[in-house]
Amino acid sequence: MTGLWAGDALKGRVAVVNGAGSGIGRAIAGALAAAGADLMLSDLAEASAAQTAQGIGRGDLRVEVMASDVRAPAAMEALFARAEDRLGRVDVAISAAGIGGPAALAHEIASADWDAVIATNLTGAFLFAAAAARRMVAQKAGSITLVTSQVSEVAQRNCAAYVASKGGAKMLVKAMALDLAPYGVRVNALAPGFTDTPMTRGGDPGHADSRRQSLAHIPMGRMGRPEEIAAAAVFLASDAATYITGTTVFVDGGYLTV
């Protein structure tokens, strides 16, 4: 990635990125690398994370790859233990792992689909952030960012489980920021608007309706690019944001202004 964060804003720091195999997570990994961070990249599919690693164009960086399941406490512990073992410490932790679930009216969501979305997007966010926090509290420094969504602030039709999971993650960020501030650890949410990723390109008719509604509602008149979300992620991890914690940064093309 070139542009605002190309350079050494994060030189000498170690970042763990979960959900790094595609979409926004892949773009965040590239932006962190452009800013000089060493990386531990993780995804449910290790091959996808490895592809992200191969696309990073800075040979002066250390980049490690590991498969992990954000829903599993032991997997999150193992991810951060590996980062410490291979890279020495963890300064930045960003989770972009998430699923949308099938489109359905709220009262028609199957309990198994509800459980899957909450397990990944909310419980998984907690497990990731808690594993990061245990390391950062000990070193009395660190930045945790959870990728949420504009729907953490305003609901959309046919995706109640997703809306609930992202709204819960927003409040998790506030609670963790309050608990961790005395230890020098910052916790924030990064909330993308409607962004061009594999998940938003899904073929489900219900999701197609949501896409049309979203585009009609965006003042800038277009979808966001993953790289635009990634620039904000680097900002939150950098020294430019040392007095920012417990908040949500929306990158939504003006969606919430309407």
162 carries an active-site annotation: yes
Say whether 41 sits in a helix, a strand or coil. Answer: strand
Please give the radius of gyration of the chain, using alpha carbons only, rounded to the nearest integer: 17
What is d(CA 240, CA 105) in angstroms, rounded to the nearest whole number? 42
**What is the Cα–Cα distance from 14 to 254, expressed in whole angstroms?**
32
Task: Considering the candidates 162, 183, 243, 255, report the single residue annotated as catalytic.
Answer: 162
Q: Which residues contact 220 (CB under 8 A, 6 or more apart)?
A: 253, 254
Which amino acid belongs to residue 93? A
Q: Which residues contact 28 (CB under 8 A, 6 or more apart)?
A: 17, 20, 94, 96, 147, 229, 230, 233, 234
Closest CA to 194 of 220, 175, 170, 231: 220
3-state helix, strand, coil in the chain (%, to 5): 50, 15, 35
Look at residues 36, 65, 12 and name the one whose alpha carbon lies nearest to residue 234. Answer: 36
Residues identified as active-site: 162
